[in-house]
A and B are shown apart, each in its own frame.
Chain A
Amino acid sequence: MKHILTGAATALALALGGPALAESHGDNSVTLQLKWVTQAQFGGYYVAQDKGFYEEEGLDVEILPGGPDIAPAQVLAGGGADVIVDWLPSALSAREKGLPLVNIAQPFKTSGLMLTCWKDSGITGPEDFRGRTIGVWFFGNEYPFLSWMSQAEIPTDGGDDGITVLKQGFNVDPLIQRQAECISTMTYNEFGQVLDAGVTEEELLTFKYEDQGVATQEDGLYVLEENLEDEAFRAKMVKFVRASMKGWKYAEENPEEAAEIVLDNDETGAQTEHHQIRMMKEVAKLTAGSTGALDEADYQRTVDTLLAGGSDPVITKVPEGAWTSVITDEALN
């Protein structure tokens, strides 16, 4: 009860303080809200900061780590950040819910999302998911999975014919404990954790969303549409994207050094060197081939995947103005 009351009070305080938070776009400070905790997944931004790429552009960038209870889009709406890292599916869903997010750059070319299954469970393809238990991340990360399953016309509400979905935490225990036949993994993070737990690659079967033709765009940069109308803000974002992409390309070429920089910036001390170097090398494969500009074909495939949801599509209508090349056109030339 007490929690609910304090929650309501906090919300009210936020609501009353909301307009006062409106930041001025005139200065050179940029606040970036990450999608997750400090790790090599965001190596490019930390490199750009540590190597002084932001400074060269005259920017003062603050990088806010995320976490399991931080929804970047909400931080953006509340005025707590200028720009956020998010996946396109959840950004499009937020847009449809009335929060006008716009993609201004797409440093990740390829999706790193996979389902990792035990080979001995007898699963050979998506059809075999029926009647199984699969771990899925929620909090906006469930859209790719739900789209894929509704395209395959496999129900996700349990039963013999459908999938029993578990809300997977931020670890790989459900697979190791055999509480689930398959779990969600990222090429650059959880898959390595499964291997670290003593499982060999031969024992696993992995379905990459890329290979299944249902990949959606991950880790793009998003801002609020209304801010883009402001010229000073646009100029700031051009500098930010240019420096960030410089950071990403540096991280691609020097993964060990980039991993070190990430470790230096990890205030929690939770990350290890071995894990971060591996992550940085895997992330480099995903950012390879991206200049930072969003590839319209990739965007279209994401939208088609999300719209194709049979009974329960993630988005119900074709999004308009959900991305812009204004920033990248200027930043990358």
Chain B
Amino acid sequence: MGLVIAAIVLWALLWVLNVRLANGPAAHRPAVRLGIPVIFGLTLLIMWELIVHGLDVPQVILPAPSSIAARIATSLPILWQDFIQTFVKGALSGYVIGCAAAFAVAIIADRSDFLRRGLLPVGSFIAALPIVGTAPILVMWYGFDWQSKAAVVVVMVFFPMLVNITAGLQETTQMQRDQMKTWAAGYWSGLWKMRLPAAMPFIFNGLKISSTLALIGAIVAEFFGSPIVGMGFRISTSVGQLALDMVWAEIVVAAISGSLFYGIVALIERQVTFWHPSQRH
């Protein structure tokens, strides 16, 4: 019980420290601005550690952060293999294929109103399919390896991308489009020079949503049949082996890689759409 009390006291102390820092004179310094969330995160981890030990929580219910860290340190090769299999081969390839396909379909829909009215409902139909239903079917079609995981990711990211690109291409006004026409711009140069740049905030919105969907899709798809490598495989089988520290180690890898992926997309967005009001700092 002493450890639990220690955890609560520590939380209170660090809370006070953070409040002081946030309202103090140095609040605007980059180091302090970064330090505040770091201190908060560390507080949570230390509390978790103390409470798990203090209440004698069994390892199979919730392992302590220290044992998760130890597992990460000793299993780096396995975690790396799983990351390559699931994130690089499954999620990234599916993400690229899905976004490219959505872009192509969006251009087709943009060129013909008839096709737009036909294709968008199909797109929303695909989006409404539950992953637990589609994943086993795609595993049957594309085999157990990463190809079927990429296919699941394609299905997951296709619709948000399609909706965002189509909406983005509608972003310009009739006046602006007429202006391009008076300069004798054809469809493609009008698209390239004016409408695509104007659509960029929408497109990046879709890319950011899809980046998290892609990772979730690739991991969950592995629950339905996989080779014996991959983050989803490891998470689902380690629970059965009661190796909960391994489950959490994979969750840490997924969290870090997912956040980085999202962050990189957001950074590119900042470079590309510097002109947009939302990017003014």
Asked whether A7 lies within 8 Å of B61 as measured between CB atoms, the reply is no
Binds A, one of B21-29, B104-112, B189-197, B238-246: B238-246
| Interface check A195, CB cutoff 8 A | no
Q: Does any Cβ of A come within 8 Å of B224's Cβ?
A: yes
Shortest Cβ distance from B101 into chain A, in angstroms?
Answer: 25
Cα–Cα distance between A19 and B267 once the two chains are bound (Å): 46
Contact B144–A166 (Cβ < 8 Å)? yes
Question: What interface size band does chain B fall in?
Answer: 35 or more
Known contacts A16-B51, A169-B225, A174-B225, A69 near B239 by CB under 8 Å: yes
Instruction: Mark the stretch among A56-64, A90-98, A325-333 that contacts chain B.
Output: A90-98
18 pairs, CB–CB < 8 Å, chain A vs chain B: A1-B258, A12-B62, A16-B51, A16-B55, A69-B239, A78-B60, A90-B240, A90-B241, A93-B241, A94-B242, A97-B59, A139-B241, A166-B225, A166-B226, A166-B227, A166-B228, A167-B225, A167-B227
Q: In the complex the two chains form, what is the Cα distance from A174 to B61 in whole Å?
A: 33
- Which of B52, B136, B144, B224 has the most A CB atoms < 10 Å from its CB? B144
- List residues of chain A with CB under 8 Å of any chain B CB: 1, 3-4, 7, 11-12, 14-16, 18-19, 68-69, 71, 73-74, 77-78, 90, 93-94, 97-99, 138-142, 156-157, 164-169, 173-174, 177, 179
| A221: min CB distance to chain B, Å | 18
Query: What's the nearest-Cβ distance from chain B to residue A325, in Å?
Result: 25
Q: Is B170 part of the contact surface with A, judged by Cβ < 8 Å?
A: no
Interface residue? B251 (CB, 8 A): yes
Known contacts A1-B212, A1-B259, A166-B144; is-contact A18 B61 (Cβ 8 Å): yes
- How far apart sit A90 and B242, CA to CA, in the bound complex (Å)? 9
A71 close to B240 (CB less than 8 A): yes
CB-CB under 8 A from B159, the residues of chain A are none
Closest A residue, CB atoms, query B220 = A3
Given A4-B255, A174-B144, A169 and B240 touching (CB < 8 A)?
no
Task: Tell me whether B123 is interfacial, beta carbon within 8 Å.
Answer: no
- Residues of the A chain whose Cβ atoms lie less than 8 Å from the Cβ of B258: 1
> Which of A15, A68, A97, A165 contacts B243, CB < 8 Å?
A97
* A179 in contact with B144 (CB, 8 Å): yes
Interface: B237 (CB within 8 A): yes
How many Å lie between the Cα of A16 and that of B243 in the bound state? 21
Q: How far is the CA of A179 from the CA of B227 in the complex (A)?
A: 12
Tell me which residues across on chain B come within 8 A of A139, comparing CB atoms. 236-237, 239-241
Which of A18, A94, A169, A179 sits near B224, CB closer than 8 Å? A169
The winner among A12, A68, A69 for most chain B CB atoms within 10 A is A12
**Chain A positions within 8 Å of B140 at CB level:** 173, 177
Q: How far is the CB of B262 from chain A (nearest CB, A)?
A: 8
Known: A12-B48, A139-B237, A174-B225. A99 touches B58 (CB 8 A): yes
Quick check: A164 and B58 within 8 Å, CB to CB?
A: no
Q: Which residue of B lies closest to A139 (CB)?
A: B240
Q: Is the CB of A4 within 8 A of B251?
A: yes
Nearest 5 A-B pairs (CB), nearest first? A139-B240, A138-B237, A140-B240, A15-B62, A15-B57
Task: Enumerate chain B residues within 8 angstroms of A77, measured Cβ to Cβ.
Answer: 58, 60-61
| Chain B proximity of A244: nearest CB distance (Å) | 24
Q: Give B191-225 interface residues, CB cut-off 8 Å to A.
A: 212, 216, 222-225
User: Contact: A11 with B61, CB < 8 Å?
Assistant: yes
Contacts of A165 in B (CB 8 A): 227-228
- Give the CA-CA distance A140 to B224 in the complex, in Å: 16
* Cβ A138 vs Cβ B212 within 8 A: no
Q: Determine how close the nearest CB of chain B comes to the CB of A47; give it in whole angstroms.
A: 28
Q: Are the C-beta atoms of A97 and B52 separated by less than 8 Å?
A: no
Tell me the smallest distance from the CB of A107 to a CB of chain B, in Å.
22
Chain A positions within 8 Å of B228 at CB level: 138, 156-157, 165-167
Q: Is the CB of B61 within 8 A of A74?
A: yes
CB-based contact A167/B60 at 8 Å: no
Please tell me if the beta carbons of A141 and B144 are within 8 angstroms of each other in the complex. no
